Amino acid sequence: MEEFVGKLWHKLITRAADRDHLAAAVTLEQMRTTAGVMFRALGGDGGLRVEAATATEHGARRRWLQHIAGSGSSAELAWRDGETLRLPTQIALFADRRLNRDLYLWLAALAATADDERNLPRPWLARNQVLTLRVLNRFPGLKARYARLCAAQLAMRPPLDRLPADEAAQENAIQQALREPGSVAALPPARNAPQPVYLWLHPSPPQQQAVGGRDDDTDDGEGKTRDSEQRKKKRGEQVDATEREAGIIALRMENMLTWGEFVNVNRETEEDEDEDAGSVAAEMETLSITRDKRTVASRLRFDLDLPASEYDDHPLGDGILLPEWDYRRRALRPDYCRLQPMLARDATALDLPPHLRRTAHRLRRQFEALTQNRTWLRGQPDGSELDLAAWLDFAVARHSGHPVREQGLYRDFRNNQRDLACLLLADLSLSTDAAVNNEQKIIDVIRDSLFLFAEALSAAGDRFAMYGFSSRKRDHVRFHTLKTFDEHYDGAIRGRIQAIRPGYYTRMGAALRQASRLLETQRAGRQLLLLLTDGKPNDLDHYEGRYGIEDTRQALHEARQEGFHPFCVTIDQKAGDYLPHLFGPGNYVVIRRPDELPQQLPLLYARLTGS
């Protein structure tokens, strides 16, 4: 009974203290695409991801009901950093749903003009006034929207006559700055911080520190990652590990009702997990993590050390030095990465696996038809029929007195030659060890895709090559040779495909640059660079995050300058966050069901090559 009454009281007091209009709420998931498009259309950095902001304490005065309910001490405000645009997870400030939606778009527009201020920092009040004026001057169509939002925001602000003198002066300055941006030079001092201004960017955004950064996303057993609903970054701090064996623990039961700001997260051993840890951690502003180097024998997941040479694939040569793009310096770092070509050690010639033979037979018949396409070739020096159009042009020119030679007056019905070359680059990183279903892993799906892709293209007679890649920092980018352009597809190639296995991380830029070098050797009317992956670029070092994204984007830009056509096929369900920035619209496809990839890949190739 006590517990029931306590829950009922908590529900009632929280509802009374909460002034949000949940019936008119708009979520970031609903607005992510629209806000991202507007941010980039108004000049924002195209490489920034749109993600959920973290609630931070504002230090402003709270109402007595909020004190009783323990709420109202933090707020989700928008901000941007070098990698992300942070917007509130949900906006329910206004009773009008259209105003909540407009606030998302206004914040995206405000953040889009913030690039000009990054090298010239200003105080919070002055900075947001400058940004507001800049948006209104550059985009006059937003003036009416801002006026509506400003009026609704002012109606929510605390009345000046109910505040102490110092806080009233501070609040009056903020309201004046909202009504007439640029009219207030400085914020008067006060004992308490002002109430959050939801039309402005965060006064002091949290310094984000990545927590984690491993290549394999942990799965919850149902094919969904744990952070699929809310992808919020937390402020992270590195702390010393606590000893488990020694010491006396004194408990006070009332202290067990909530979590503290310290959580001993063992990232290395991954022992038993608290079922409520995810929901509790989502409400925390800062996560303190530590590394524990001790291993747990029963839960040994993987070893990222390089295997001994007698068990590893054959290295081909001493490695190839390649540049890497540093987006901070806006310049290439010459000879920064070492790419090591590899060849499978224990690959033996074999036939196509039995479970693929029926599908392969159907694909071969479809692709063999491509070589049997016949077309009329006009303007030929000889042929089976007279080309009437060419002969008429010749006769008119001769009759007009122009000196012309008798050439190209015939047409012939011949096989159509496909003048193209394709290089398939497969991501063999550690994440491919994840399960697709009860019977297959991602690496099995990729292997079957390579088999069927090779069967189809060999039937069509197209020139193609296949390589795989993974990496372990910049000095060891593994580039596995599966089939070169000069090799004929046979049992030995199938043996190399069968030998592929999950590798390490995904330094995509170096692999793409090497693939472009190999594609340069092929003289063809069209050159297709096809990337098959299950995730975004990453590695153990600084290649994580924006750095890896920008290096990959630069490598793709270099490939396009050479006349190649890069295209990405991915099974990453979050690919929409970064692939438009990397490949551009229409140059990638997301396979929603990974187990369909083997059959979809050859058909996708046929569409890409106009067959």
Separation in Å, CA 458 to CA 272, 370, 373, 527, 604: 50, 11, 16, 17, 16
Give CATH 3.40.50.410 domain extents, the chain. 314-368+418-608
Separation in Å, CA 81 to CA 44, 121, 205, 487: 12, 13, 8, 48
Q: Would you state the pLDDT for residue 420?
A: 86
Which of 117-131, 230-244, 338-352 bottoms out in mean pLDDT, i.e. has the lowest? 230-244
259 band by pLDDT with thresholds 50, 70 and 90:
very low
Q: Would you state the pLDDT for residue 222?
A: 42
The answer to whether domain 314-368+418-608 has CATH 3.40.50.410 is yes
Residue 302 reports pLDDT greater than 80: no
Residue 252 reports pLDDT greater than 70: no
Q: Would you state the pLDDT for residue 519?
A: 94
Q: Contact, 466 vs 482, CB < 8 A?
A: yes
Judge residue 145's burial from the number of C-beta atoms within 10 Å of its C-beta, 0-12 exposed, 13-18 middle, 19 or more buried: middle
Mean pLDDT within 49-57: 87
Mean pLDDT within 381-385: 77
Helix, strand or coil, per DSSP, at residue 511: helix
Kindly give the pairing relationship between strand 526-533 and strand 420-427: parallel
Distance CA 598, CA 332 (A): 36
Q: What's the whole-model pTM score?
A: 0.66
Q: Would you state the pLDDT for residue 311?
A: 63
Measured from the Cβ of residue 330, the count of other Cβ atoms closer than 10 Å reads 9
Residue with tokens 């992270």: 236
Measured from the Cβ of residue 515, the count of other Cβ atoms closer than 10 Å reads 24
Distance CA 71, CA 17 (A): 8
Q: Would you state the pLDDT for residue 503?
A: 92
Query: Which pLDDT tens digit goes with each residue over 502-556?
Result: 999 999 999 999 999 999 999 888 899 999 999 889 998 889 888 999 999 999 9
Query: Which pLDDT tens digit goes with each residue over 474-497?
Result: 999 999 999 999 999 999 999 999
Q: Would you state the pLDDT for residue 402?
A: 73
Strand ranges of the sheet holding 286-290, from the earlier edge strand across to the other edge: 235-238, 286-290, 265-266
**What percentage of the chain exceeds 70 in pLDDT?**
74
State both tokens at 381. Answer: 């020096």
> Any residues with CB less than 8 A from the CB of 489 and at least 6 apart, and which?
454, 455, 457, 458, 483
**What percentage of the chain exceeds 90 in pLDDT?**
42
Q: Would you state the pLDDT for residue 298?
A: 37
Q: Would you state the pLDDT for residue 235?
A: 54
Q: Would you state the pLDDT for residue 314?
A: 87
Q: Would you state the pLDDT for residue 234?
A: 55
Residue 96 reports pLDDT greater than 80: yes
Q: Would you state the pLDDT for residue 211?
A: 42
The four Cα atoms 168, 114, 140, 150 give a dihedral, to 10 degrees, of -20
Distance CA 513, CA 329 (A): 20
Distance CA 101, CA 124 (A): 24
Query: Which pLDDT tens digit goes with each residue over 420-435?
Result: 899 999 999 999 999 9
> Any residues with CB less than 8 A from the CB of 572 and at least 6 apart, and which?
533, 534, 535, 536, 590
217 band by pLDDT with thresholds 50, 70 and 90:
very low
Residue 377 reports pLDDT greater than 90: no
**In whole numbers, what is the pLDDT of the chain averaged over residues?**
80
